[in-house]
Structure 1
Amino acid sequence: MDLRTRIDNSPMSFYQWLIVVICTFLNALDGYDVLAISFSSNQVTEEFGLSGTALGLVMSAALFGMAVGALVLGPVADRIGRRNMIMIAIIVNAIGLFMSATATSANQLGLWRIVTGLGIGGILVATNVISAEYSSRKRRGLVISIYAAGYGIGAAVGGSVMVALIANSGWRSVFVLGGALAVFSLLLVVFLVPESPSFLYNRKPHDSQTRLEAIAGRLGFDGPVDIDARGPASAGDSDVGTGITALFNRRNRRVTFVVWTTFFIIMFGFYFVNSWTPRLMHETGLTDTLSMIVTVGLTLGGAIGSVVFGLFTSRWSTRSVLMTFSVVAAVLMAIFIFMAQWVAVVVVFGVLVGMSINGCIAGLYVLTPQSYSSTLRSTGAGWGIGIGRFGAIIAPTATGAMLDGGWSPQAIYIFVGAVLLLASVVLLGMRGIDVEANSRPRVRDQPPAAVG
């Protein structure tokens, strides 16, 4: 029995859905963490006397750590195992969160935010791959969209809690809670999350046969596991190479360019709106509490948008749906800030902006694993996420500089909307060369349910 083939072609079991739920929870830590610094920004600014540019640098610190973590730890995860990488990364993340609560200066806070980001980067490159590998071929697009929704869920639920925490216990309390959630997630991974099947097949550690058979048993599959099987997940792996250089060979270079550029653009817009909305809404005249409520609506819409994206991909190709979502996100972004004078309306628009921009993130998480071979999945996802994080790093810092330079909140949102339009143009470069997980080129776009 080739375990990967059985997973691809069998209905998903309760245990598979449990793995997806845990990975989604881990992704929610990213959403919680971004809102932690976003919601804390006003109190941090007052305590440390920060300018807009300085605050932008503190906000970008964790994003820089995420970028480095994704770039460096993605290839490492392909070598030591995706499960091992998740456990190591969670420990690093928890240390960063707990120590952020002890910061006595902006420099200390920035340093521990970098450590926090390193952990999150390692978590994301591995959980994205495990979610994809434990989903059936039929449900893969929906599963990855649910996984991507974790960010919005973590931000929306966490944001709601943060409003009360900050009011009652100050900004440091949100980082203490984040560290506690990371410790809890580590226990879930240790006891419930198995290793990636493709890693066990490709790297063949000494106990791979035993571990694959144990995984098969927990999934409810009967019969011995063939450790030497070369199923659809690995067919063609031998001629695409491994490691970072394989991302630029003849087969992958065009896909890599599209994935990297789109990640950069969309994460620029995504982290701008999630990081600066509370502050910019406050600049338009809303109170701190109302600004936070608008941001919670934004993140709630994000959780919905990720799942909606997955439903759309059951009928249309990932690339086509992603292009549509990027155009809608650009238009909504440009008019969102003009609704600030009507509280009920701006909350609704916040939900819609969150739906569209999170749908774009979900699309990238679906598109990237299906674009590389099983031996390159963590490397491809890690470098895509890492390059995207550089866009995320630039967004908060550039926004702070624009605000200090006299830009109005309205002008800033229009500018970001224009940037997002570029994503739909870049995605045209994927036309006709979308690839399956085994890196065999497709002549035409197909729904992700047909890819791995």
Structure 2
Amino acid sequence: MRSPVTVESIRQSLDDARMTRAQVVAIVVAVLIAGLDGYDLQAMAFVAPAVSEAWGVSKEILGLLLASSLIGMAAGSLGLSPLADVVGRRPMVLLALALLTLGSLASALSRTIWELGISRGVTGLGIGVMMSLTTAVAAEFSNGRSRAFAIAATTVGVSVGGMLGGLAAAALLETCGWEWVFGLAALLGAVLFFLALIALPESPAFLIARWPKSAFERLNGVLARLEQPAVTEAPLRPEAERSSYRALFARGMASTTIRFAVVYMLTVTAAFYIISWLPQMVADAGFPPSTASLISITTSLVGVPSALIAGTFATRFRPVGVASAAMVGFGLALVLLGIVPPTGPALIFAAGACGFFLSASTAVFYASIATAFTPLMRVSGIGFVSGFGLLLGGLGPYFAGLMFGYGMSRTGVSFTFAIVAAAAGVLLFTHRSSTGGAVGARAMPDR
């Protein structure tokens, strides 16, 4: 008599099987979407000097514009991304791409500060959802052996998207105007929407864990695309899994959730300072907006190899140690940014140092988040951590604008955010030491 197929046996089969073409395509779609996130995340920063010059915007108002998409991202991460643990990954990916595309198009057509701010907020809603989903999709469509690499690839995708976006923005600012920077994002979003509609099936991990209506037909359809045999019996789930925020604070999970959320909040506060204000700082040093965009992409350029290097170190050393050291290194790089002279080579070197340590820390940290939560809590967990961090840390560009507006120098503002970045690394390392590395074990790929 055939033994019933359990959830764990299905997951194990998917973990142990070779990667199929359909799985690779799904991961590639996730990486491409992450690249669009990286581009659109920095789009406002790329055009900030041009908008400031064209509309005569003060630094305080510019700070609000830079923070508008981050506030939208927080709302998307907290309010919308948990729906992916209820209705599925695929419909939320399509919704997020639609929001991102429409928000970018509205940004390109904006004629007032209020229109641009609201449009960037709508765009941020889509980016906030996608930040949670790209990691989850990469984790759930990869096998056990490739999972860590697939998650790291989405982080690299963000860096590559920011780098290519900076190059495109520099060319568009020089020839077409700042509106076309957002127009290109809308075009790319539309293309990826139809690509995901065709090539991205529902996550098998979600279907197995949720077991929704018509689960047999839906799951077997996905398994056929993944070249897996069809299941004939409903999975036996040894324990009930919850997909609400309450589950994130249940016994045994609360400390993990809170720890990740606070560390992420501190990290993104410093990260969005450098991402949002670097082009304007370069422009303030006397360079044209197009040159400011080119110099700012240095942070993304060095982020690609640094994420891969950090991932390699994380397989040999405790991931928490790698992430903590990188966060402290990011703080030191911000100090460097504050003290270098306002020359092209010096700013490029300091920006590169910031990008290297920032990308290294986020690559390992995102992998830890993705594997710390079970499938029915994964997107909710990533969404809460991201949303909580963005809700508070996303105000970093606004506070930076206030500090600049009150007369603080690049040195003083950079030192302030350097303390925040270093605090994130120290907090993460101290907590890990006190728990004996328990969560560090969970940060390794699910098997």
**Could you say which TM-score interval applies, normalised by the shorter chain?**
over 0.9
Q: 1:213 to 1:422 in 2, by over 3 A?
A: same
Q: Distance in 1 between matches of 2:75 and 2:202?
A: 23
| CA positional deviation for 1:3 | 3.7
1:24 is matched with 31
| CA positional deviation for 1:433 | 5.0
- Any gaps of 5 or more consecutive residues in structure 2? none
| CA positional deviation for 1:145 | 1.2
| CA positional deviation for 1:269 | 1.4
Q: Distance in 1 between matches of 2:332 and 2:272?
A: 17
Q: Secondary structure at the match of 1:80?
A: coil
Which shows bigger deviation, 361-370 or 211-220? 211-220
Contact 2:268 2:394 in 1 (8 A): no
1:203 is aligned with what amino acid?
R
Contact 1:247 1:256 in 2 (8 A): yes
Q: 1:364 to 1:260 in 2, by over 3 A?
A: same
Which shows bigger deviation, 257-266 or 442-451? 442-451
Q: Distance in 2 between matches of 1:106 and 1:43?
A: 13
Contact 2:39 2:162 in 1 (8 A): yes
Deviant stretches of 4+, over 6 Å: none
Alignment of 1:330-409 (within 5 A): 330-409=331-410
Contact 2:337 2:350 in 1 (8 A): yes
1:268 is matched with 269
Contact 1:317 1:447 in 2 (8 A): no
Contact 2:368 2:442 in 1 (8 A): no
| CA positional deviation for 1:444 | 7.2
- Any gaps of 5 or more consecutive residues in structure 1? 435-441
Structure 2 counterpart of 1:64, from 66, 71, 76: 71
| CA positional deviation for 1:138 | 2.5
2:218 is matched with 211
1:224 is aligned with what amino acid?
A
2:326 is matched with 325
Can you list the C-alpha shifts for 1:91-139, whole angstroms capped at 9, x where unaligned? 1111111111111110111011111111111222222211111122222
Alignment of 1:414-433 (within 5 A): 414-427=415-428, 428-431=430-433
Q: Distance in 1 between matches of 2:445 and 2:293?
A: 40
Structure 2 counterpart of 1:87, from 66, 89, 94: 94
2:62 is matched with 55
Compute the TM-score of the two structures, normalised by the length of structure 2. 0.92
Q: 1:407 to 1:62 in 2, by over 3 A?
A: same
What do you get for the CA RMSD once the two structures are aligned?
2.1
Does residue 159 (structure 1) correspond to residue 160 (structure 2)? The answer is no
Q: 1:276 to 1:99 in 2, by over 3 A?
A: same
Can you list the C-alpha shifts for 1:393-437, whole angstroms capped at 9, x where unaligned? 211101100001111011111211111011122213244658xxx
1:310 is aligned with what amino acid?
G
2:252 is matched with 251
Can you list the C-alpha shifts for 1:337-381, whole angstroms capped at 9, x where unaligned? 433444334323322321210222222321112112221111101
Contact 2:159 2:304 in 1 (8 A): yes
| CA positional deviation for 1:160 | 0.1
Structure 2 counterpart of 1:116, from 93, 115, 123: 123
Q: Distance in 2 between matches of 1:123 and 1:28?
A: 11
Structure 1 counterpart of 2:234, from 228, 234, 238: 228
Q: Distance in 2 between matches of 1:86 and 1:284?
A: 40
2:446 is matched with 451
Q: Distance in 1 between matches of 2:419 and 2:41?
A: 23
Q: 1:340 to 1:392 in 2, by over 3 A?
A: farther
Q: Secondary structure at the match of 1:451?
A: coil
Q: 1:116 to 1:365 in 2, by over 3 A?
A: same
Contact 2:432 2:440 in 1 (8 A): no
2:157 is matched with 150
Contact 1:281 1:340 in 2 (8 A): no
Can you list the C-alpha shifts for 1:225-245, whole angstroms capped at 9, x where unaligned? 255335xxx765x2x643111
Q: Distance in 2 between matches of 1:301 and 1:364?
A: 18
Q: 1:225 to 1:348 in 2, by over 3 A?
A: farther
Compute the TM-score of the two structures, normalised by the length of structure 1. 0.91
Can you list the C-alpha shifts for 1:234-288, whole angstroms capped at 9, x where unaligned? 765x2x6431112112211111111100110111111111110011122234443
Q: Distance in 1 between matches of 2:217 and 2:242?
A: 27
2:412 is matched with 411
Does residue 190 (structure 1) correspond to residue 197 (structure 2)? The answer is yes
1:225 is aligned with what amino acid?
V
Q: Distance in 1 between matches of 2:46 and 2:125?
A: 21
Contact 1:316 1:446 in 2 (8 A): no
Contact 1:432 1:445 in 2 (8 A): no
Q: Distance in 1 between matches of 2:356 and 2:290?
A: 22
Q: Distance in 1 between matches of 2:96 and 2:391?
A: 20
1:316 is aligned with what amino acid?
F
Aligned residue pairs total 439
Q: 1:444 to 1:203 in 2, by over 3 A?
A: closer
Structure 2 counterpart of 1:175, from 182, 192, 198: 182
